[in-house]
Structure 1
Amino acid sequence: MANISDSPNPLLPLTDPPGLVNPSLATPRPAVASARIDGYDFARALAVIGMVLVNFNSIFRLSQEDALPYSRLADALCGRAAVLFVMLAGVGLTLLARRPLLAGTAEAMALFRRQILKRCLVLFVMGNIFRLFWHGDILHFYALFLGLGVFCLQLPNKWLWLGVVGIWLTATTIFVACQGGPTLPDGMLLPDFVVTFCDDLLLGGYYAAFPWFAFLLMGVWFGRPEVMNRPASHGRIFLVCLVIFVIAEQLLAWGDARFFMADETEMPLAVFFFNDPFPASPLFALSGGAGAMMVLIGSMYLSRLAICNGLVQNLKYIGKLSLTIYVGHVLLGLALVAPLQQRLAPGDYSAVVTCLTLALLLGQGQFARFWCNRFERGPLEWLFRKLSGTG
């Protein structure tokens, strides 16, 4: 069976860039590392499943009133699957850097950064092409986050967490000051298209760097051996995240009831309690980040349980073909939505779309398993590496 290992981008398979493999470090993977990688791929699979539900709900849902049978679940997952993806990108980036970091030389890290930045450039171009068809593209944001994250790999843990807190505080300040519509200030001496592009990447886009880059830094921290390879500490991390998640969710529920009909005088305070993933509101960022970390830790735990081995082994293949599934399911949905709306009655439309979604969720697992047993990389994963010249 072909092996596809972890990834610095949860949409891409991870292998070491050419020139970084030290034969002395190429030892067989121990069982604990294998379980760790299986847990990582299992978490990617859960994120893919959530992504398919959210995106199909966005593509096929006729209106807010005409909900699909799974719309409530998709609405609950909206933005949260993406948080998990970004966090997994940070974990994968740290895993990929294990050899250059062990080498301990400036030359090894410089070579590693060049290889990752080449991948980021190709991913950035691919994402901007894809967003011509899909306004909610995340690939070009991943490229930005990974390009920045590669320079954070050697930072001490405390600096990573200072970065997480600083990004969240900055994003919160801007979000509240702009009353829920963060944007760059007017009057900048730059062409309009440059301002619009930078605003999309930094503040106002679906996955703008403030605060989404904080999730990648959290993943970089979790991927470090002293954290990821110490299951005994995972329980404490899980409990801390659970407390943060519960508090954030309670504040969101209270704010929704308290400021449901907020007037202009209450708006500065009400904005803080918005529950918006795009752009991410302060409490959503807290809840989403804590929830994603809990899912990641839970995936690692399940991967070590013999009783869950069958589930983990079957779903992990979905995570290995994340890029192919991500692009493929969006293009499939966009190609089918208009013909289905034109030819089906409303009642039939909802039933057909639900069956289509279930078929895709079930079929993608079988397809991924079939493909991974025969090929080293997925179709788009292979194309990506050829274009970037790194595989």
Structure 2
Amino acid sequence: MQKRIIGIDVARSLAIFGMIIVNFKMVFGNHDNPFLTTILGLLDGKAAATFVVLAGVGFSLMTKGAAYRNNADELNRNKYKLLKRALFLFLIGISYSTIWQADILHFYGIYILLAIFLIKSKPETLLFIAIGMIIVYPILMILWDYDNGWDYAKMNYINLWTVKGFLKNLFFNGFHPVIPWSAFMIIGMWFGKMELDNTRVVTQALWISLTVFVVVQIISYFSIAFFSMGNQEMITELTPILGTDPMPPLPLYMISGSSVAILLISFCILISKKYENTTFIHILKNTGQLALTFYIAHVIIGMGFIEMVSSIKMGEYTVNFSFLYAMFFIIVCLIFSMINKKHSKYGPIEWVMRKFTD
């Protein structure tokens, strides 16, 4: 049995921390302090992308041995387990989408369904499919109106609970639409098929992903500058198309998000291998293993507490408050992960999921 790669769990903890910061900022408010707003804006869409890429890596690692041995029975058991987890996550996500439309879990469930069909695919096939999804998305935007259904002032999707609105949100213009976001999971599956226990391979992946990220940012910046000719109105119109923001998820964002994910995962694998026995890495590893619990808790408990205290001010807080509250919640997560590990192998939601899906 392959030894668990600690860096994967460490990367998962950092991804969930990034999602907490981004989501608190979006829900509570992002006012004042333009510098902090700009810095935290770099996390938008990148943390969630890393979370999805990590899932793909995990699926490849989980099935690598069975696929290598061509053990059909073991592969089928893995597929059945993933199918049950996809249904579990979809239902959990849908159950509280009424209060949290930006939920990623119900999207995640559909990504997993696609991943099941690709478990035995060769790395080059996975990469080809992921690139195809990224390329086809701008074509879909030409055919359909991306903005249809959105109230951007409230970041609210108006017809989400109609069949047509739900399907359009799920597959095309939601927060994490299946096309092209499932490409992140497929890229994770591609990356997971590499020798991630080989330091040389991971180091190479780190430098290549860093280079790709920097090149994409340069292309984005200069293309906006060139086509806008300094006109502020043109800059505003071009940024969603040529920028690297997650909405809409156009190719430059998808490449940027994928490169950041592989960069972070590679860094975490290398740093965790070097400092494997340190308390800090141990705590982050434990926290990453409870990512699902903390994702749900940051919505139900983290956001719920502030709404209970002052629902009127939701969306009106400063970015300083949103960030500091996120950091407080992250510290609580770290403490909880240490306490939980002494009493249980799994987090509360992870335990429930395993009861239903293992």
Same fold (TM > 0.5): yes
- The AA in structure 1 aligned to 2:272 is S
What residue in structure 2 maps to residue 325 of structure 1? 294
Match of 1:368 in 2: 337
Amino acid paired to 2:138: T
Cα distance in 2 between the residues matched to 1:133 and 1:154: 38
Q: Which residue of 1 aligns with 2:16?
A: 48
User: Which residue does 2:179 correspond to in 1?
Assistant: 210
1:86 to 41, 49, 52: 52
Paired amino acid for 1:56: F
Instruction: Give the aligned partner of residue 116 of structure 1.
Output: 82
CA contact (8 A) 1:221 1:227 kept: no
Q: Which moved more, 1:68-77 or 1:159-168?
A: 68-77
Q: 1:285 is matched with which residue?
A: 254
Question: Matched residues in 1 for 2:142 and 2:274: separation?
Answer: 44
Cα 1:256–1:109, aligned 2, differ >3 Å: closer, same or farther?
Answer: same
By how many angstroms is 1:148 displaced? 0.9
Decide whether aligned partners of structure 1 residues 272 and 71 sit closer, same or farther in structure 2, where only a CA change above 3 A counts. Answer: closer
Distance 2:263 2:222 in 1: 23
RMSD: 3.1
Measured at CA, do residues 193 and 246 of structure 1 come closer, stay the same or move farther in structure 2, by a change above 3 Å? same
Q: CA-to-partner distance for each residue in 1:321-371, whole Å, 9 max, x for gaps? A: 111111111112332333544799x99977765543332221211110110
Give the counterpart of 2:103 among 133, 137, 161: 137
Once residues 158 and 256 of structure 1 are traced to their aligned partners in structure 2, the CA distance between those partners, rounded to angstroms, is 32
Q: Which residue of 2 aligns with 1:128?
A: 94
- 1:59 and 2:37 aligned: no
Q: CA deviation at 1:135?
A: 0.8
Decide whether aligned partners of structure 1 residues 271 and 360 sit closer, same or farther in structure 2, where only a CA change above 3 A counts. closer
Residue identity in the other structure for 2:268: S
TM-score (norm. length: structure 2): 0.85
In the alignment, which of 163, 182, 207 is matched to residue 129 of structure 2? 163
1:18 match: none
Picking from 198, 201, 212, the partner of 1:244 is: 212
**Structure 2, unaligned stretches of length 5 or more?**
150-160
The counterpart of 2:264, out of the listed 295, 302, 313, is 295
More deviation, 43-52/272-281: 272-281
One-letter amino acid of the structure 1 residue matched with residue 206 of structure 2:
F
1:150-171 alpha-carbon deviations (Å, 9 max, x no partner): 2111111111111121111111
Give the structure-1-normalised TM-score: 0.78
Displacement of 1:98 in angstroms is 3.4
- Alpha-carbon distance between aligned partners in 2 of 1:112 and 1:234, rounded to the nearest angstrom: 26
When Rg is computed on C-alpha atoms for both structures, the one with the higher figure is: 1
Closer, same or farther in 2 for the Cα pair 1:179/1:67, shift >3 Å? Answer: farther
Report the more deviating stretch, 68-77 or 192-201.
68-77
CA contact (8 A) 2:53 2:188 kept: yes
Q: Is the 8 A contact 1:91 1:219 kept in 2?
A: yes
Q: Which runs of 5+ in 1 are unaligned?
A: 1-24, 184-191
Asked if 1:378 corresponds to 2:347, the answer is yes
1:97 aligns with 2:66: no
Please show how residues 176-255 of structure 1 align to structure 2 within 5 Å.
181=147, 193-224=162-193, 226-255=194-223
Once the two structures are TM-superposed, the CA of residue 66 in structure 1 deviates from its matched residue by 4.3
Given that residues 41 and 317 in structure 1 are in contact (C-alpha distance below 8 angstroms), is that contact kept between their aligned partners in structure 2?
yes
Question: Aligned equivalents of 1:261 and 1:347: distance in 2?
Answer: 26
**Alpha-carbon displacement from aligned partner over 1:28-82 (angstroms, at most 9, x marks no partner):** x6xxx34xx2101100011011111111111211xx5446995443321011000
Q: State whether residues 43 and 296 of structure 1, in contact with CA within 8 Å, keep that contact through their aligned partners in structure 2.
A: yes
Q: Which amino acid aligns with 1:81?
A: A
Distance 1:293 1:118 in 2: 27
* 2:47 partner letter: A
**Residue 311 (structure 1) aligned with residue 280 (structure 2):** yes
Of 72, 76, 83, which residue of structure 1 is paired with 2:42?
A: 76
Q: Which amino acid aligns with 2:345?
A: E
Residue-by-residue CA offset, 1:185-208 (whole Å, 9 max, x unaligned)? xxxxxxx93332221222111111
Identical pairs, percent: 26
Rounded to whole Å, the distance in 2 between the matches of 1:248 and 1:172 is 17
- Equivalent residue, structure 1, for 2:138: 172
